[in-house]
Amino acid sequence: MAIAAYIAFEPADEEAALSIGAELERNGWSVTRSAPELRTQEKLAALVQTIGGTQVVIVIASPAAEQSTWLQREVAAALNNGRPVIVVLAGALPADSWIHATLDTASAVDFQGGARSEVLAQIADRARAANGRGRVIAMLNIKGGVGKTVLAANLFAAAHLADKRSISFIDLDPQHNLTQYFLSPGERNRIRDRNHTIYGILNPHGEASVPISDIAGVAVPLNRARRGDGKQPNFELIAGDERLFEFTLDTRSDRDKAEAFTRFRALVTALRARSDAVVIDSNPCATFLTRLAITTADHIVAPVRPEKYSLTGLNMLEQVVREVRGRALRPSEFSVLLNGVNDRTRSGETGDADALTRDEISGAPFFSTALLADEVPYSAVLKSAPSDRLAANPINVTAMMRVGGRPAKEALTQAAAAILRRAGQ
């Protein structure tokens, strides 16, 4: 299937849009351009759907674009759907342009000299690079305690060890359990004292702010205890921070949040350029932080426990994601992972909770095709606090996997491979 690109432009820039589209088509892309047919109030949902279904959005920025509310809507759809945006500058913008404030114009392709072949080739290269990057996977469920954190760590440790996948984790939960899972208290304090955490990255100003040019360098390597020859795939963490709660309350202004959003996107762009998967662990509710995860994710993994009301949590998650993205969702954008099956410690329940939950989800309209065939068993290894297991060497992932029981390890490896396949990686 051809890879899809959307070109957002104003009629004044039609010539540029046509030449860029033709170049992409020559390179095997299927191209949709802004058109009056979709730029109507009644077709807004279809427009967002089209943009959400593409791999790359190209925005032609110019004085005409600056004035256009439709172009602004197309850009919002691209950002809310986590589509990579390539800015092509076809004319000078005022310094206070909304385009500067919303998009990364510093790395825009300069089209002011017209459709020269080297400029067109540069756009095609950028589009190819944007599409060839790692996938962003968000662990999400509005319901708490379902295994988002423990599975984020163990699924992708398995993918790293068994399949040599390079992984970048982002701990986006103020409770920062993922960070506690991987790092010792001493290490966490050291990192926090330097503000080398997600809080430092989101924070646009003040002492605790990390300069935007440094954000990708804040990642902590988790596999450095292994022999490093510089060639092994990376396995790294953007550490969490309890001060992140400020972004879930009303203590931060809308302007701070807008800047935090831009900084978060820059972080994700940098990490996906160097990893097969960027894995976001989020908090179990719908807050500004959830919005950051949803808008940047290519794929959402929702772990569920075999218990009553699992489907209620999933339905709510689907609603929240649909609201944030402004469009109907495809089940292929989700993976539902049944976690904690064959739990012999479970008591006092009537009926087979595993089968009941499995049947309920596979009978549900949206989630039936999102439910993974691979399931994660209940396992004492996943139950135990990592500090007990990793005390000897908290950052040695190999040690973490070695102590894992064999059935859990195999299930995790297979489930991780299935998720990465569904995410298009």
Ligand X SMILES: Nc1ncnc2c1ncn2[C@@H]1O[C@H](COP(=O)(O)OP(=O)(O)OP(=O)(O)O)[C@@H](O)[C@H]1O
When binding is defined by CB under 6 A, the residue of 81, 149, 223, 275 that contacts ligand X is: 149
Minimum CB separation from ligand X for residue 172, in Å? 11
- Binding segment for ligand X among 91-99, 146-154, 327-335, 399-407 (CB under 6 A)? 146-154
Residue 34 or 180: which CB sits closer to ligand X? 180
Sheet holding 29-33, edge to edge: 29-33, 3-8, 56-61, 85-89, 109-110
Residue with the shortest CB distance to Mg ion: 149
Which of 48, 297, 376, 395 touches ligand X (CB under 6 A)?
376
Residue 148 is a binding residue for ligand X (CB under 6 A): yes
Which one among 146, 337, 415, 420 touches ligand X, defined by CB under 6 A? Answer: 146
From candidates 379, 413, 414, 425, binder to ligand X by CB under 6 A: 379
- 50 part of the interface to Mg ion, by CB under 5 A: no
Amino acid present at 132: G
CB of 47 or CB of 338, closer to ligand X: 338
Q: For residues 103 and 59, is the Cβ–Cβ distance under 8 A?
A: yes
For the chain, the three-class secondary structure string (H helix, E strand, C coil) is: CCEEEEEECCHHHHHHHHHHHHHHHHCCEEEEECCCCCCCHHHHHHHHHHHHCCCEEEEEECHHHHCCHHHHHHHHHHHHCCCCEEEEECCCCCCCCHHHHHCCCCCCEECCCCCCHHHHHHHHHHHHHHHCCCEEEEECCCCCCCCHHHHHHHHHHHHHHHHCCCEEEEECCCCCHHHHHHCCHHHHHHHHHCCCCHHHHHCCCCCCCCCHHHHHHHCEECCCCCCCCCCCCCEEEECCCHHHHHHCCCCCCHHHHHHHHHHHHHHHHHHHCCCCEEEEECCCCCCHHHHHHHHHCCEEEEEECCCCCHHHHHHHHHHHHHHHHCCCCCHHHEEEEEEEECCCCCCCCCCCHHHHHHHHHHCCCCCCCCECCCCEECCHHHHCCHHHHHCCCCCCHHHHHHCCCHHHHHHHHHHHHHHHHHCCC
Q: Candidates 135, 143, 148, 305: give the one binding Mg ion (CB under 5 A).
A: 148
What mask of x and - would describe binding to ligand X in positions 314 to 343, judged by CB under 6 A? Answer: -------------------------xx---
Q: Which of 81, 149, 223, 295 binds Mg ion (CB under 5 A)?
A: 149
Kindly state the smallest distance separating residue 146's Cβ from ligand X, in Å.
Answer: 4
Q: Return the C-alpha torsion angle 286, 287, 291, 294, nearest 10.
A: -30
Of the candidate spans 92-100, 141-149, 258-266, 401-409, the one that interacts with Mg ion by CB under 5 A turns out to be 141-149
How many angstroms separate the CA atoms of 390 and 397, rounded? 9
The one of ligand X, Mg ion, none whose footprint includes residue 378, by CB under 5 to 8 A per kind, is ligand X
Using CB under 6 A as the criterion, what x/- string covers residues 264-293 for binding ligand X?
--------------------x---------
Question: Residues 162-201 vs Mg ion: string with x where CB under 5 A?
Answer: ---------------x------------------------
Interacting partner of 339 out of Mg ion, ligand X, none (Cβ under 5 to 8 A depending on kind): ligand X
Rule CB under 6 A: choose which of 77, 378, 414, 417 binds ligand X: 378
Q: Which is nearer to Mg ion, 177 or 414 (CB)?
A: 177
Q: Residue 300, interface with ligand X (CB under 6 A)?
A: no
Query: By C-beta, is 80 or 177 nearer to ligand X?
Result: 177
CB of 148 or CB of 265, closer to ligand X? 148
421 binds, among ligand X, Mg ion, none (CB under 5 to 8 A by kind): none
**405 scored as a contact of ligand X (CB under 6 A):** no
Pick the closer one to ligand X by CB: 103 or 361. 361
Should residue 150 be labelled a site residue for ligand X when binding is judged by CB under 6 A? yes
Q: What would the two tokens of residue 267 be?
A: 């972080």
Of the pair 28, 145, the CB lying nearest ligand X is at: 145
Q: Which residues bind ligand X (CB under 6 A)?
A: 144-150, 173, 177, 284, 339-340, 376, 378-379, 382-383
Q: What does the binding site for Mg ion look like in residue numbers (CB under 5 A)? A: 148-149, 177
